[in-house]
Amino acid sequence: MIDVKDLRDRGQYRRSVEEGLPDRMTSGDTVFEKKLSLRYGENPPALPGEGGAAVYAASNSSGPSIATASKIHGEKDLGYINVLDADAGLRLCLRLHELFPDDYITAIEKHAGPCGVGRSGTMAGAHQLAYLCDPLSSFGGVNVYTGTVDDETARHIVSYFNEVVVAPNYTPEAMAILKGKKDLRVLKIADINLPILDNDIDERSILGGKLAQQRMKSHIDTYRNLEKVTTGRGPTIDELDAALFNWQVALYTPSNAVILGTSHRTVGIGRGQPSRVDSTRQAIWYANNRCEGYNSKRTVMASDAFFPDKDSVTHAGEAGVSAIVFPLGSTKDAEAIAEAEKYGIVMLCTRPAPGENKIERGFRH
């Protein structure tokens, strides 16, 4: 057998590179100041002079954000993907906190999308629900919390490998536990109830230029924003709560996104598939093979866009899904709705302006 120790440079993954990026950048009227040099970019560089990366903070920004967070523990520098995951999780947690301010929220992120989301009356309870959605994928994740991390939560965090923890506060007992993991990066953000103040624009570079868009805001805030489009029974309160919860998760999941869950936890997450039916199959498989303590039966499914055919609804019906939240817009909407009625599924259309025919779609790329 070949001794792989002679074939790899383990230090390549841990070494920080000199990034050589400017101290200041501008976009329109906004000035961005370099806040933090990162270990390296999306991948460790193979050759000198490559792979530099940094975090920039808008000079006029305030509120809870990763750009303005403080790193309070961790020997390793943060990496580019760590920051992407932390930001994705924080955006989701902030939105869920808006809708459910009396509950604690936890999102466990991997590769810019969730592998588990939970809400509970305790921080440890929310963490446990998020983790149990997919314990295997939670390994090496970024955990984001809306409340103070306590010792019970911290003990579970250090019981398996995590990259980064993000929260507005930590108890002294929790910090003592977290500091037992020297490579765990612990970030402290501003009070979760403070507003985010920045230019409200999301940008992405393209070859020769950049894309910019006004940041999407969800308007699916209450039961009134969920219109029943099937005949027969109406949704239960639990189904409405689950629709609100899982729709928000879908909005912050790479498309095509299909989420199975209850009012307090995700159960199966299908994401990033070019075909919606494959994301549906993926979500159902994860619910029945990875999730602990629940399965696909009696869950509510959220689809971030319309159904191009009835096949996803068929799979949902066979899996025991009780309700689906989605936007209309397909030439086969009627077929999908008829298929839902065949299985007794309540279909709820997203209505950002109740009484009008507008829908809310949730693509994320």
Q: What is the pLDDT along the chain (365 residues), one digit of tens a residue?
A: 666 666 667 778 878 888 889 999 998 888 999 999 999 999 998 888 888 999 999 988 999 999 999 999 999 999 999 999 999 999 999 999 999 999 999 999 999 999 999 999 999 999 999 999 999 999 999 999 999 999 999 999 999 999 999 999 999 999 999 999 999 999 999 999 999 988 889 999 999 999 999 999 999 999 999 999 999 999 999 999 999 999 999 999 999 999 999 999 999 999 999 999 999 999 999 999 999 999 999 999 999 999 999 999 999 999 999 999 999 999 999 999 999 999 999 999 999 999 999 999 999 99
pLDDT for 6: 62
Question: What is the spatial distance between Cα 13 and Cα 123, in angstroms, rounded to a whole number?
Answer: 32
pLDDT at 60 (0 to 100): 86
Q: Would you state the pLDDT for residue 229?
A: 97
Distance CA 44, CA 58 (A): 26
Please report the sign of the dihedral spanned by the C-alpha atoms of residue 138, residue 139, residue 141, residue 145.
Answer: positive
Domain positions in the chain = 62-188, 223-350
pLDDT at 311: 97
The CA distances from residue 22 to 32, 58, 224, 240, 283, in Å, are 10, 14, 48, 49, 42
Q: What is the pLDDT of residue 55?
A: 95
How many whole angstroms separate alpha carbon 311 and alpha carbon 335? 10
Classify domain 223-350 by CATH number: 3.40.140.20
pLDDT value of residue 2: 65
pLDDT at 199: 87
Can you give the pLDDT at residue 28? 83
> Residue 19: its pLDDT value, please?
84
Q: What pLDDT shows up at residue 4?
A: 62
CATH class of segment(s) 62-188 = alpha beta
Distances, alpha carbon 274 to alpha carbons 1, 171, 199, 285, 361, in Å: 39, 43, 32, 17, 16
- Choose among 298, 289, 330: nearest CA to 311: 330
Q: What is the predicted pLDDT for the residue at 149?
A: 98
Query: Per the structure block, which two tokens stand in for 72?
Result: 């309070």
Calpha distance 63→149 (Å, rounded): 19
The pLDDT of residue 282 is 98
